[in-house]
Amino acid sequence: MDTMGEKEIPIDTFDALLRDLVTWDLVVRGEGDDAQTWRLVARAQQRLGELAIARGPWPAERTVYLDRLCADCGRRHLTWVRDGTYVCNPCWQKRLTSVQDEPITVALVAAGGPSLGSSSSEPIAS
């Protein structure tokens, strides 16, 4: 029994997804010696590249919540998750101006190198 490392998600979890790839001709089987291998068609690879870039390392920063109370002013505003709490934009601006030594790096690295292999969305710590 292999208990080392991260627990891998069973591959059959993705059956529907994988079937879709085949159904929509987004993957094709290799030919000849490569008959056991599959590869993404070119347009799927290209789109994947675009999505990986667009996704960026800060998805939480871009998710807007409509029905949360702001942790600072307690009012029902559009809020964003900041530092683990729901905060409306005016309050967040207030926080930024009152805590000057707090490093603000997240928004600046949006165009950083896409890394498809990693599913990590950790903000870059400075």
Pattern 18-57, binding to Zn ion, x per CB under 5 A? ----------------------------------------
Minimum gap (Å) between residue 103 Cβ and Zn ion: 22
Per the listing, tokens 């085949």 go with: 22
Which parts of 64-123 interact with Zn ion (CB under 5 A)? 70, 72-73, 88, 91
C-alpha to C-alpha distance for 53 and 111, rounded to whole angstroms: 7
Question: Least distance in Å: CB of 69 to Zn ion?
Answer: 8
- Residue identified by tokens 């490093």 is 103
Tell me how far, at minimum, the Cβ of 86 lies from Zn ion, in Å: 9
Pick between residue 97 and residue 120 the one whose CB is nearest to Zn ion.
Answer: 97
Question: Which residues sit at the interface with Zn ion, rule CB under 5 A?
Answer: 70, 72-73, 88, 91
